[in-house]
Chains A and B, each alone.
Chain A
Amino acid sequence: MILPKRLRGMFSNDLSIDLGTANTLIYVRERGIVLDEPSVVAIRHHNGQKVVEAVGMEAKRMLGRTPGNITAIRPLKDGVIADFQVTEKMLQHFIKKVHEASWFQPSPRVLVCVPCLSTEVEKRAIRESALGAGAREVRLIEEPMAAAIGAGLKVEEANGCMVVDVGGGTTEIAIISLNGVVYSDSVRIGGDRFDEAIVNYVRRNYGSVIGDATAERIKKEIGCAYAGSEVREIDVRGRNLAEGVPRSFTLNSDEILEALQEPLTGIVQAVKSALEQSPPELASDIAESGIVLTGGGALLRDIDRLLTEETGLPVIVAEDPLTCVARGGGKAMELMDKHHIDLLSS
């Protein structure tokens, strides 16, 4: 049914989208998180045309298991759009999915979270793809700001708080006070880099190749960030490079800790440099209350302990860290409507 976007908008919900490298989450006011799917699109090449075969969870299962005419791709890389058209298709699919009960083609107002330090071109790409996916109005918010609001921090107070959002592609660090970002930094280290590090470690030490999906499973099940934790083990099957046949072997969490050393050091360095650069008043606020960790990376076992040891500050993991950004985006949208302010510079 073709109706003007405005009219269709009346039958659509306001969406807050955390368009992440690894996962896309959509939050709807009064309904909470309504969609949490991997940012993966499977595309079938048919007579020189690209047809979307599957999106989200289904497409993720195809990652690394596709025949020649299907490619499963992740359209976002390092927190920004790498494949514009596919991102648009993916958003379109997700927006439609959220409005399954609606009679009309949805045209919601959308708030999309973007990494801080993303360039104007990258922001524009996100804005355009959301518009292309049918949104009637697109607002952008910086991820750490949304994360802070979603975590429940009182961002409107004249009190500095520090948020570290460890996402799939990037780690965003921000110091927030009075509804604004005082300092922000973004390092391109995230869950993906952890997986990569595990793949490399296994190849180096076991002479076997494992896929990204297996690496992710290892990370989730036994991955840890701090030496003093409980040691866990996991059985893994990978293709042995020398023999060329699949072999089974056992990994333990200490090995994974060793594998993750490099990316973890990167994150610690970034946090330390943020603390170095924060204005003294805010630094004292942060020392008083601590650092809040959000994002999927915060689920890595004992990552808070690592940061506590390294910085000497209390570090806490927000409740439900995976959905913080999406929830915060939703709340930010309500705040913007209520106070008629543009909470955010972007």
Chain B
Amino acid sequence: MNNVNDVTESANQGLPADFETPGAILKAAREKAGLAAGDLARQLNLSESKLLSLEEDQYDKLASDVFAQGYLRRYAKLLGLDDDVIVQRFNEYQALLRQSEQGGEGEENSTSAVAALPRWALPAAVFVVAVVVLTFIYMRTAGDDAKGPIVEPAQQEQSQQRPVQQIENQTEEQQAEEQQIEEAAPELNEPSADALPVQQNEPLQQNEQPQQAPAENSVALPAAEPEPAPVQTPAPAQQEAAPATVEVAAEGEDVLSFAFSEECWVEVSNAQGTVLYADLARAGQTLSVEGEAPFSVMLGNARAVSLTLNGELVSVNPRAGNRTARLTVGG
């Protein structure tokens, strides 16, 4: 026994003195039974040197712990010992060895605790970020949806208001009439007043390029046509505005007059193809365009229009089933 303890103690310092290693137990049992190591090794199909290294607890001489455990188990069985006890002792022994080898075990624990944290933290963090991003995107899109209908009329207002602007800028002498209109639809003028600050940036431009403004309108308006936006109510002013587009047709003496019984899209261009007027006319409105014949006229709702050229009635006959009419007047 004594020499066994010598061997083990020399091999493993730091173990409790009373700890009986599995090798020591086995060796004691073998010697007690008076068996030779060589015989047992043959029975176990192991080399004698391996058996001896088992008894001396030199497990690193074996291929791996699996084999060490397996050999110990079989050796214990052969000696009639409880193999589970021996294997348990072996595991304890290995654990003790590992402990004594690494003094700084606390560090390992702390690192493992840190390593354990990100496993939970990462998915959680990602989830939180994803929720925040999704919420943000949702808010954005929801906001857009809410704004959507507001923004579009505003743009339409701009386009619709340009002629009105022209009127206001150009026909100061007609302010009296305008006041009448404003009185007629005071509440309706307010939205247009909202739109004014935007447009006041460019009244000069519009004065300089009056032809382009209507051209822009003609692009913008088909979309606006079904929109009975309140903004359009100032349009009655346009019937006064139409004669105001004098500078377009300064050289012409022909006067083209429209009377509308219903809402109707009107586009008038002269022989050169210049668009003189393009806008949506309201019911009850009258419009006169001065210029040089021939005019090419496009009417969106031809049945609602009575058209006169220099006081003479021009017949507007849209094709059957077709509300729009294109015609050339005069010339």
Contact = CB atoms under 8 A, between A and B. Distances in A.
B64 interface: yes
Most buried by B among A7, A10, A318: A10
B28 interface: no
Main secondary structure of the interface of A (DSSP, over half): loop
A137 to B, nearest CB: 16
Contact of B116 (A30, A159, A308, A318): A30
A314 interface: yes
Interface in A311-327: 312-319
A159 B73 contact: no
Contacts of B69: 316, 319
B66 A316 contact: yes
A314 B63 CA distance: 13
A10 B127 contact: yes
Nearest to A311: B45
Interface in B49-81: 62-67, 69-71, 73-74
Interface string A41-78: 00000000000000000000000000000000000000
Given A10-B122, A30-B116, A290-B45, A314 B66 contact: no
15 contacts: A10-B127, A11-B123, A30-B119, A153-B63, A153-B64, A290-B67, A308-B45, A313-B45, A314-B44, A314-B67, A314-B70, A316-B67, A317-B73, A319-B69, A319-B87
- Interface size class for chain B? 20 to 34
Contact of A314 (B74, B87, B119): B74
Contact of A154 (B64, B119, B130): B64
Contacts of B74: 304, 314, 316
Interface in A163-186: none
Nearest to A318: B66
A292 interface: yes
B116 A316 contact: no
Contacts of B46: 314
Contacts of B123: 10-11
A315 B126 CA distance: 50
Contact of A289 (B63, B73, B87, B116): B63
A152 B87 CA distance: 15
Nearest to B46: A314
Contacts of B122: 10
Most buried by B among A152, A290, A308, A312: A290
A319 B71 CA distance: 12
Interface of A: 7, 10-11, 30, 151-154, 159, 161, 288-290, 292, 304, 308, 312-319
Interface in B192-221: none
Nearest to B68: A316
Nearest to B77: A305
A292 B130 CA distance: 49
Closest 5 CB pairs of A and B: A316-B70, A10-B123, A289-B63, A152-B66, A314-B45
A151 B116 contact: no
Contact of A316 (B73, B126, B127): B73
Contacts of A289: 62-63, 67
Contacts of A290: 45, 67, 70
Nearest to A13: B119
A288 B73 CA distance: 17
Contacts of B62: 289
Contacts of A153: 63-64, 66
A313 B71 CA distance: 12
A317 B76 CA distance: 14
Contacts of B130: 7
A314 B64 contact: no
A286 to B, nearest CB: 10
Given A30-B116, A316-B70, A318-B70, 11 more contacts: A7-B130, A10-B122, A10-B123, A10-B127, A292-B67, A292-B70, A308-B45, A312-B45, A314-B44, A314-B74, A318-B66
Contacts of A308: 45
Contacts of B65: 152
Contacts of B67: 289-290, 292, 314, 316
A315 B232 CA distance: 98
Nearest to A11: B123
A30 B120 CA distance: 12
A159 to B, nearest CB: 7
Interface string B32-50: 0000000000001110000
Contact of A151 (B66, B71, B126): B66
Given A10-B127, A308-B45, A314-B44, A159 B70 contact: no
B63 A288 contact: yes
A22 B67 CA distance: 27
A154 B73 contact: no
Given A7-B130, A11-B123, A292 B66 contact: yes
A145 to B, nearest CB: 15
A141 to B, nearest CB: 19
Nearest to A12: B123
A10 B126 contact: yes
A72 B114 CA distance: 46
Contact of B71 (A10, A161, A316, A318): A316
Contacts of A159: 63
A290 B50 CA distance: 12
A34 to B, nearest CB: 15
A302 to B, nearest CB: 10
Contacts of A151: 66
Nearest to A290: B67
B105 to A, nearest CB: 19
A319 B87 CA distance: 10
Contacts of A292: 66-67, 70
